[in-house]
Amino acid sequence: MIEIQGLRKSYRKFEVLKGLDMTVAQGEVYGFIGRNGCGKSTTMNILTGLLAKDGGSVKVNGQEVTAAGRVPVGYLPESPSLFEYMTCRQYLDYIGAASEHPDIMKRTAEVIDIIGLRDAADRKVGGFSRGMKQRVGIGAAIYANYDIVILDEPTSALDPQGRAEVMQIIETLKGMGKTVLLSTHILTDVERVADRVGILNNGMIAETGTLRELYQKYAGDTAVFELSAASEPLCGRLLQTGFVASLRTDQRTFYVQFSCGLEEGGRLLLDFLAKQPEQVIRFELQSTSLEQIYMKVCAAQPAGNGGVAVCS
Amino acid sequence: MQLKYGLKKEWMEFFCTKRWLAFVIPAVVFVFLDPLTVMAMPLLMEALPADLGLDGLKELYTASQAMALQSFCSDFSQMGMLALLLAMMRTAGGDQKNKSCVMPICNGFRRGTYVLSKFIVYPAAAFVISVLAYLAAYAFSWFLFEDRVGFGSILLPLLAFGLFLAFAAALMLTLGCITGKGGISAIIVFILFTFVSMFLSALNLNWYNPLALLNMAGSFERFDLPEYGLTALITLAAGILLCLLTMGAFQKKRLV
């Protein structure tokens, strides 16, 4: 479990974290999102003991984290750098020695299977693709089998296949019951695996909750339908129904926002349109996405300096 | 266990990446070039015009194995050291610059052990390669000159030479690990060794310090054993101190 209270961190005069509060429960995959330079990597570096905090409390499994102290978490930094003259197996053996694992050979073989690099295990890491290197990095992060794994942008700069491979490993970790703190700009990845999401903005968590809670809170549930011909009377009839909150029309295309949930509203609208003389040629339900929620949250609380952090 | 894997990692980094070639190639060049140059010098002088006034010098000049070895020590200690420092740039500061040390340290690799592994492998490699180069220069020049140096006479100079370059490697590691900048560290060490040595020699103060070992490396007459022993001990002690200093500084170094 990760507990952060009132976390503060500044780089020279620029305050990146201004009292961050965050909790990641055991066994949870927590999607940690925010704009570039907002402090995600800084938070993760503090959690792993690589960076000293200026204030606040950071606890991992109940133990306070200190800089340069030993923190029992697996960590994959952003764009990990590996020893390219080593083979995958040799590198993981080295990581095994780092964590003083009692049976390095056996554990290395297990990790190689988890990350799906059995066929490339004895090839030099320098010849790996970006996606393969990222998988080796994840292998290093999970080697010591800590309950908590911190992944900083594990799918950045990967092609779709590389991303899919990495996301599969993250799903495997989720299935193993690991607590995963995942930072990424690819919000569809977060929607795929995360149990809860935290949006970091202006040095603090601006919004947090499960995906379901966030979708309900920021529901912008809209239906879009198109007629074969324009119809002004239909607008009046729609507004007299009880389930339409607002309506916008563009001659033949109608944008309807419901006063009830998306599913119920969509059903009621379909029933209504089926009884109307106008011919509907296209019908679409548009639910809120995490991207839209993220944009709304960041727009509601703009970053103090335009979101540009100077970190040195 | 960490030290064993740390030594293996540094060994692989130096040898599998072929960085050792940057040090060995100049060694091979000077092993052959310096004795041949010394041997050819009388012929070159004969070829020079008489009105240059070098007749006195021609008479004084006697090509010998000792001269060849001194020439080798002088050239290789400069160019070979530069090659060694450049070959070590990546290990001295590169791990920090590219952050490749982050994941091992996050997984529990002790920072002190991480540094100690470097301080064992690189000075040892510098010592062994330079001693082997010295021996190769001795063997090659043995066949070129009649005026030879006995093998027993070169043992202490040979060790002094190896110790000198090992110390240069240790100093490079210290600067590189503390600053995180391999290139600048290489330049600083090279300038230090070149100019401080000249400065101390000019003031007749070049004794009981690692730089004095270079003079001893080219001296085959009986020299002061206590002075030699003390200089060697001071150099070893300085090397150990550099290692401890670096281990301590690296504990507090910010890696991200």
Residues A1, A60: Cα–Cα separation, whole Å:
6
Structure tokens at A232: 């002004």
**Residue A170: in which H helix or E strand, if any?**
helix A160-175
Q: Which of residues 115-154 of A touch B (CB under 8 A)?
A: 137, 140-141, 143-144
- Best of A42, A99, A111 to disrupt the B interface (most B CBs within 10 Å) is A99
pLDDT at A309: 36
The chain B residue lying nearest A139, using CA atoms, is B103
A100 touches chain B (CB under 8 A): yes
pLDDT of A201 higher than 60: yes
From A64-73, A135-144, A295-304, the region with the lowest mean pLDDT: A295-304
User: What's the rounded mean pLDDT across residues A289-309?
Assistant: 68
Which residues lie closer than 8 Å to B139 by C-beta, 6 or more apart? none
Supply the pLDDT for residue A289: 75
Query: Is residue A310 very low, low, confident or very high in pLDDT (cuts 50, 70, 90)?
Result: very low
Tell me the pLDDT tens digit for each residue of B170-224. 999 999 998 888 888 999 999 888 888 888 878 877 778 888 888 888 887 766 7
Is the pLDDT reported for residue A312 higher than 50? no
Q: Is B13 on the interface with A (CB under 8 A)?
A: yes
**Rounded Cα–Cα distance for residues A47 and A24 (Å):** 12
**What pLDDT is attached to residue A303?**
55
Cβ separation A140–B109 shorter than 8 A: no
Q: Which homologous superfamily is A219-287 in?
A: ACT domain (3.30.70.260)
pLDDT reading at A304 higher than 60: no
Tens-place pLDDT, residues B215-239: 888 887 766 788 888 999 999 999 9
pLDDT > 70? residue B136: yes
The interface predicted TM-score (ipTM) is 0.87
| pLDDT tens sequence across A206-252 | 999 998 888 777 766 678 888 888 888 898 898 888 888 888 887 78
pLDDT score recorded for residue B238 = 94
Alpha-carbon torsion angle A72, A76, A77, A78, nearest 10: -160
At A303, phi and psi to the nearest 5?
A: -65, 145
Predicted TM-score (pTM) of the model is 0.82
* Contact assignment for A77 to B102 by CB distance below 8 Å: yes
B104 and chain A in contact, CB less than 8 A: yes
Contact (CB<8Å) A85/B106: no
Domain range summary for chain A, segments of one domain joined by +: 2-215+294-300, 219-287
Closest B-chain CA to A312: B256
Work out the average pLDDT over B157-161: 92
Enter the CATH code of domain A2-215+294-300.
Answer: 3.40.50.300
Q: Give the number of other Cβ atoms within 10 Å of residue B54's Cβ.
A: 14
- Asked whether the beta carbons of B76 and B141 are under 8 A apart, the reply is no
In this structure, are residues B160 and B225 in contact, taking their beta carbons and an 8 Å threshold?
A: no
| pLDDT tens-digit map of A26-57 | 999 999 999 888 899 999 999 998 999 999 99
Q: Is B226 on the interface with A (CB under 8 A)?
A: no
